[in-house]
Amino acid sequence: MTIRVLIADDHPVVRSGLAGMLGVEADIDVVGEASDGEEAVALASSLRPDLVLMDLRMPRLDGAAATARITESLPGVHVLVLTTYETDADIVRAVEAGATGYLLKDTPRDQLVEGVRAAARGESALSPSVAQRLVRQLRGDSERLTARELEVLAGVARGLSNAGIGRELFITEATVKTHLLRAFAKLGVDDRTRAVTTAMERGILP
């Protein structure tokens, strides 16, 4: 059975590269290309492909919103996100929108092709780093930062020392360090800078 694929990406070079790469596979047929989310929805509706290979950051309508529209109105069409972005917020939005899989653009060619085949069958296709982030997201309340841990991290983000954070929150410097170490463990990091950037990536800190 031939898998009919629609490619949605706002970069022409990326679209043509993907079309060329997938087009040489005997069981894959690239039936269309879209340059933004609105066009992706329109073409998915008219072409009824088996799979839409969807970028996330596109003009007019982003990939997650386009995915939601397609999966709601065209239940037989699967969406595989292919993007350079792997923040927790991006991943969760795409999965909640109904994406069957989420691969990164640095995925090796053979893995991408297999991901297309799997997603077209309705099976999940996830890059390893994306899978790890999803697992962390789904672990539940035990892995979430407490209000105090967030306050301490916010102080770090503003450039305060442990002593300065302690004075601001009326707690000892040792207590600040304890909160920081617990936050490090939950975020899977081992230093202050990475803790702040990771918390921002996940939308935990503004």
pLDDT tens per residue, range 66-76:
999 999 999 89
Together in a domain, 196 and 175: yes
Together in a domain, 174 and 122: no
* Helix (H) or strand (E) run with residue 72 in it: helix 63-73
Chosen domain end from 116, 138, 160: 138
Across the chain, the runs of DSSP E, i.e. the strands, are 3-8, 28-34, 51-54, 78-83, 101-104, 125-126
- Angle subtended by helix axes 192-201 and 173-187, to nearest 10: 50
DSSP 2: P
Q: What is the pLDDT of residues 3-37, one digit of tens each?
A: 999 999 999 999 999 999 999 999 999 999 999 99
pLDDT value at residue 1: 85
Q: How many domains does the chain have?
A: 2
Report residues of the chain scoring pLDDT below 50. Answer: 141-142
Closest residue by Cα to residue 129 from 51, 68, 188: 188
Chosen domain end from 109, 138, 167: 138
- pTM score: 0.68
What is the span of the domain harbouring residue 22? 3-138
* Helix (H) or strand (E) run with residue 127 in it: none
Closest residue by Cα to residue 182 from 158, 146, 156, 134: 146
Together in a domain, 145 and 133: no
pLDDT value at residue 142: 46
For residue 105, being part of any structural domain is answered with yes
Together in a domain, 89 and 132: yes
The pLDDT mean for the chain works out to 90
pLDDT value at residue 187: 85
Together in a domain, 145 and 63: no
Together in a domain, 26 and 120: yes
In degrees rounded to 5, what are phi and psi of residue 116?
Answer: -65, -45
Together in a domain, 152 and 78: no
Q: What is the CATH number of the domain that holds 18?
A: 3.40.50.2300
